[in-house]
Chain A
Amino acid sequence: MAIVAQSSKTRRIRRATLAWIVGLLFFYPIFWLVLTSFKTDADAVKPEHLLFFTPTLENYLNMTENYDYWRFATNSIITSVFATIFALAVGIPCAYAMAFNPSRATKDVLMWMLSTKMLPAAAVLYPMTFLTKSLGLFDTHFMIIVVLMLINLPIVIWMLFTYFKEIPKEIIEAGQMDGVNTWGEIKEILIPLAWGGIASTALLCFIFCWNEAYWTVRLTTTDAATLSKLIEGNRAPEGLFFGRLSAVSAAAVGPIVVLGWFCQKQLVQGLTFGAVK
């Protein structure tokens, strides 16, 4: 008995230590980023000032005054929120249909959706840019919302599909017998029952939208430019403004890190497709 308890205790300690090491390893770049954002550009590159320096808010003030941080932030919020809403609006009925009325093609359709994620974005860069410009949608919120929605749709549908699959089919059938139409089934039964899963999916989709950089950088200039574009824009060619770049980056990832922190449980559930209960 004692030996078992002992060994399980050492194992626990070992596991905790390992978790901490891995955690710190991943956390270090963010820690460095935040630290650097409070340094002057001159201090930022000096190793002797890695931990000890005179903190300054200059970078942040500079960012909000000269770079219009709030406009980029607003654009990020608008595009991410609407892209998420539309992705759910399309994804919920779609996943519903596949989960409760599967056909022989359902598996293939799901695989096909996922396969679109395997296409390198660069492969369609030229046609996309051309299309956007010729439609007059370059640098518009609309275009960014559509693009963000489309690139996240496969994962949204997959996640929702997995959640919906867990709902017994009989409950939906009971609803049909009780006189609801398809929309009623979704609104009265499916959404309330899969609420946790839908929230996880929405959260993850929102984060992916917020962090998206490939298209938001390439399809915008100013009007619809998101925080990714702001970071990109501060990657100044004239020199290494590490302090400034760090401040911009910290301010860009800040909101999403805070959001993620508060929704940890939902996120873990979302990422593991509900396998962890």
Chain B
Amino acid sequence: MGQIVLEKVSKSFGETQVIPPLDLTIEDGEFAVFVGPSGCGKSTLLRLIAGLEDTTSGTVSIDGENVTEVSPSKRGLAMVFQTYALYPHMTVRKNIAFPMRMAGLSEEEQDRRIMAAAESLNLVDYLDRKPGQLSGGQRQRVAIGRAIVRNPSAFLFDEPLSNLDAALRVGMRIEISEMHARMKTTMIYVTHDQVEAMTMADKIVVLQSGVIEQVGSPLELYSAPRNLFVAGFIGSPKMNLIDGEEAAKHGAKTIGIRPEHIDVVEDGGIWMGTIGVAERLGSDTFFHVNGTGLAETLTVRALGDVALRHGDTIHLNPRADEIHRFDAQGLRVS
């Protein structure tokens, strides 16, 4: 079990309010991702749940029990830190055993769980090494191993993959997702990378300056961003945002259209412009189009390789039903 409820939780460091009062519920078994730009308060929010920071006001409950005043060691949560935070003076085996030893589990039970964790995380050959003798990816596995052996009611991850190189990051991302599918334990995962958020989450919490901008499933955020911030933050490449006359035609202050929802046509498109940069990925081509009179550049995603180059004129057709409309406050108009 691991339902986590925040009610009117706020946090200030001295005079500066980092998190204004907010409400949030994370259901048991859910994979929730906190995403937002660096410095928006994601880690602080996670640490409030962990108990590593005291709330300035409000209550934190786990499974219906108010734990606001409970120390982190008694909340039954496990955390994986960005810097791994392994105990450098202990071997991998001792690191993984540590929480179980603190909980007073029997030696046999400890050994059994260490082996199970080590096997699932490919650490069997490294059990007697010290963290200093491991690569970044292996250290991260040890940190995860240390978290899983105690069967916590929820896992907290604070940007666990941001110190790994790109290839490893993708691999670990999948492993963590598989781990969640297998264990079905609540997980809260903090990242500034919207791709991680989109690929892993059941529920995404988008934060900006400590304020929750939107909560929803990845597809909800993708197809119905609640405001301009979420619209610009979720999706890669970014949604095109267009002000002025073109927006007014749709009865909005601003309209947004994703690069993948603009079709390249031979001629007779609604919009047209000149190609600036063309990024060819093989599977897709991203065109950065100038001189459309709509926005400074318009990003367009075309499937496969399209034989248009720098300086060519391009004709574009936005899909009408994929246009997002926003009012003067930047809120979605449906």
Is B89 touching A192 in the complex (CB atoms < 8 A)?
Answer: yes
Closest CB of chain B to A88's CB: distance in Å? 19
| Residue A168 lies at the interface, judged by CB distance under 8 Å to chain B | yes
| Residue A171 lies at the interface, judged by CB distance under 8 Å to chain B | yes
Is B102 touching A168 in the complex (CB atoms < 8 A)?
Answer: no
| Residue B229 lies at the interface, judged by CB distance under 8 Å to chain A | no
A196 to B17, CA, bound (A): 40
Number of interface residues of A (CB under 8 A): 17
| Residue A184 lies at the interface, judged by CB distance under 8 Å to chain B | yes
CB proximity to A under 8 Å, residues B48-77:
50-52, 71-74, 77
Is A174 touching B85 in the complex (CB atoms < 8 A)?
Answer: yes
Q: Which of B71, B73, B87 contacts A171, CB < 8 Å?
A: B87
Is A180 touching B102 in the complex (CB atoms < 8 A)?
Answer: yes
| A177 contact set on B, CB distance < 8 A | 50, 52, 72-73, 77-79, 156
A170 to B99, CA, bound (A): 15
| Residue A64 lies at the interface, judged by CB distance under 8 Å to chain B | no
A29 to B150, CA, bound (A): 63
Q: Which of A173, A192, A193 contacts B81, CB < 8 Å?
A: A173
| B73 contact set on A, CB distance < 8 A | 176-181
| B99 contact set on A, CB distance < 8 A | 178-179
| A174 contact set on B, CB distance < 8 A | 79, 81, 85-87, 146
Is A176 touching B72 in the complex (CB atoms < 8 A)?
Answer: yes
Closest CB of chain A to B321's CB: distance in Å? 47
Asked if A168 meets B85 with Cβ closer than 8 Å, knowing A176-B73, A177-B79, the reply is yes
Closest CB of chain B to A164's CB: distance in Å? 14
- What string of 1s and 0s marks CB contacts (under 8 Å) between A163-175 and chain B? 0000010110111
- What string of 1s and 0s marks CB contacts (under 8 Å) between B138-173 and chain A? 000000001000100000100000000000000000
A165 to B88, CA, bound (A): 16
- What string of 1s and 0s marks CB contacts (under 8 Å) between B179-219 and chain A? 00000000000000000000000000000000000000000
| A interface with B by C-beta (< 8 Å) | 168, 170-171, 173-181, 184, 188-189, 192-193
Q: A177-B50, A177-B73, A179-B73 are in contact. List 8 more A-B contacts (CB 8 A).
A: A173-B72, A173-B85, A174-B85, A176-B72, A178-B99, A178-B150, A179-B150, A193-B88
User: Would you mind naming 18 contact pairs between A and B with Cβ atoms under 8 Å apart?
Assistant: A168-B83, A168-B85, A173-B79, A174-B79, A174-B86, A174-B146, A175-B87, A176-B51, A176-B52, A177-B50, A178-B73, A178-B150, A179-B74, A179-B103, A180-B73, A188-B102, A192-B89, A193-B89
